[in-house]
Amino acid sequence: MPDQLVYAMEVTLNGLMAGVMYSLVALGFVLIFKASGIFNYAQGVLALFAALTLVGLQQGQVPFAHLINAVFGTDLHHFGWHLPAVVAIALTAGVMVLMAIAVEKLVLKHLVNQAPIILFMATIGLAYFLEGFGDVMWGADIKKLDVGLPQGISETIESVTADWFGYGFFIDNLDIVATVVAVALVTALTVFSQYSKQGRALRAVADDHQAALSVGISLRFIWVLVWSIAGFVALVAGIMWGTKSGVQFSLSLIALKALPVLMLGGFTSIPGAIVGGLIIGVGEKLFEFSIGPMIGGATENWFAYMLALLFLVFRPQGLFGERIIERV
């Protein structure tokens, strides 16, 4: 087989894997948008906050240590324990639920029935707030996140492909784990929303707030629920990306990689987030591989958006978005 074709296959496979990582972030956006019509700008910061909390809890950092030290002149740093990963993840999930409740009580409750742009704005305020809050709570230095996920080249795939094509493919073990987790997550979410009582209530709210209210579904409970789930998804995304690059401020910028995925897949569709992620992942990697070297590289950022734009011109509501019906 010609080399270029083999390389292209490798790039495609890696693109699929990268796409899954983008989808993980995009999922959180979709969940909240579907249930409450809010474009949650804070999703990226939520992932950062979750990852920070996870590392902090795991390593027994004293929250707000820096603030306390500055105000009271003490010298606190660590509690001196080291939690197992599972316990820390469970605790962090708990923190995310608490945060969902706080967001509902302090912010959303007061903004019922406002225009989407206002709610969007509120999430911007939330993003600013959490960004500062996370740093005050856990410090701004870079942290290593280790919950025992494997990382590095997958030897099996390398040797198998080397036998087949004479060139061993590179697939990151972490990406394989991410794919498995993403599949599990989507399955769980689908099962939850199709078969559980709360899940149905969630879909009812997503379809029509007023009608849902009139049959006795508590909007506020649903909002807490959906923000908790989004917080959990953010935690998963935070773990995956944090393992890759360490936990630090830049983690919140992964939201930017999720936006084209959302646009392409549609704001309201969970399968859309997955398929959109895959298309964007493969598209940008293949473009960088084939055209990138000719025009100077680093094309991935804008190409993802251009690709989404191209799709949108033909399907203005995204691939899986709800059809836009306009009446006068």
Partner 1 sequence: MKSKFTTAVVTAIALAGPAMADLVVPNLSYRTGAYAANGIPYADGFNDYFTLLNERDGGIGGEIVQVPECETAYNTEKGVECYESTKGMGALAYNPLSTGITYQLIPKVTADGITLYTPGYGRTSAANGSVFEWVFNYPANYWDGASVAIKYLLDENGGDLAGKKVTLLYHNSAYGKEPIRTLQALSEKHGFELQAVPVDHPGQEQKSQWLQIRRDKPDYVLMWGWGVMNQVAIQEAVNIRYPMDHFIGIWWSGSENDVKPAGDGANGYKALTMHGTGMDYPIYADIQKYVVDAGKAAGAGDMVGTVLYSRGMYAAMVIAEAIRKGQEIHGTSAVNAAQVRDGFENLEITEERMAELGLPQFGPPFAASCTDHGGPGAAMIQQWDAAAGTWNSITGFIAPDDAVLDPLVAEDSAAFAAENNITPRCQ
Partner 2 sequence: MLYREAGDFKTTYREDNQTFPIRFDRIAYYTTVAAAFAVVPFFINDYWANAVFVPFLIYAIAALGLNILTGYAGQVSLGTGGFMAVGAYACYKLMTAFPEMSMVLNVLLAGLVTAGVGVLFGLPSLRIKGFYLAVATLAAQFFLVWLFNKVPWFYNNSASGQITAPERTFLGQFVTGAQTSASAKYLFCLAFVFVLALVARNLTRGTTGRKWMAIRDMDIAAEIIGVNPLTTKLSAFAVSSFYIGVAGALFFSVYLGAAEVGESFGIQKSFLILFMVIIGGLGSIFGSFAGAAFLVLLPVLLKNVLVGTLGWPTDLAAHIELMIVGALIIIFLIVEPHGLAQLWRLTKEKLRLWPFPH
Q: Which residues pair with 153 in a beta bridge?
A: 172
295 interacts with, out of partner 2, partner 1, none, CB within 5 to 8 A per kind: partner 2
The amino acid sitting at 174 is: L
In the region spanning residues 102 to 131, those forming contacts with partner 2, defined by CB under 8 A, are 106-107, 110-111, 114-118, 120-122, 124-131
114 interacts with, out of partner 1, partner 2, none, CB within 5 to 8 A per kind: partner 2
Using rule CB under 8 A, residue 104 touches partner 1: no
Using rule CB under 8 A, residue 316 touches partner 2: yes
CA 26 to chain centre: 5
Residue 197 CB neighbour total at 10 angstroms: 7
Which one among 151, 187, 190, 194 touches partner 1, defined by CB under 8 A?
151
**Structural Rg of the chain based on CA atoms:** 21
Which one among 90, 142, 309, 310 touches partner 1, defined by CB under 8 A?
142
Closest C-alpha to 43, from 193, 261, 289: 261
306 Cβ neighbours under 8 A, 6+ residues apart = none
Min dist CB 44 to partner 2, Å, is 12
In the region spanning residues 46 to 85, those forming contacts with partner 2, defined by CB under 8 A, are 66-67, 70
Provide the terminal-to-terminal Cα distance of the chain, rounded to the nearest Å. Answer: 58
State how far the Cα of 273 lies from the Cα of 127, in Å rounded to an integer: 22
Using rule CB under 8 A, residue 303 touches partner 1: no
State how far the Cα of 147 lies from the Cα of 177, in Å rounded to an integer: 12
Q: For residue 170, what are its two tokens?
A: 């590179």
State how far the Cα of 37 lies from the Cα of 87, in Å rounded to an integer: 33
192 interacts with, out of partner 2, partner 1, none, CB within 5 to 8 A per kind: none
Using rule CB under 8 A, residue 239 touches partner 1: no
259 interacts with, out of partner 2, partner 1, none, CB within 5 to 8 A per kind: partner 2
CB 51 within 8 A of CB 242: yes
245 interacts with, out of partner 2, partner 1, none, CB within 5 to 8 A per kind: partner 1
Positions touching partner 1 (CB under 8 A) are 7, 10-11, 14, 17-18, 21, 66, 69, 73, 75, 77, 135, 139-142, 144, 151-153, 170, 172, 241, 244-246, 248-251, 253-254, 257, 284-285, 288-289, 292, 296-298, 300-301
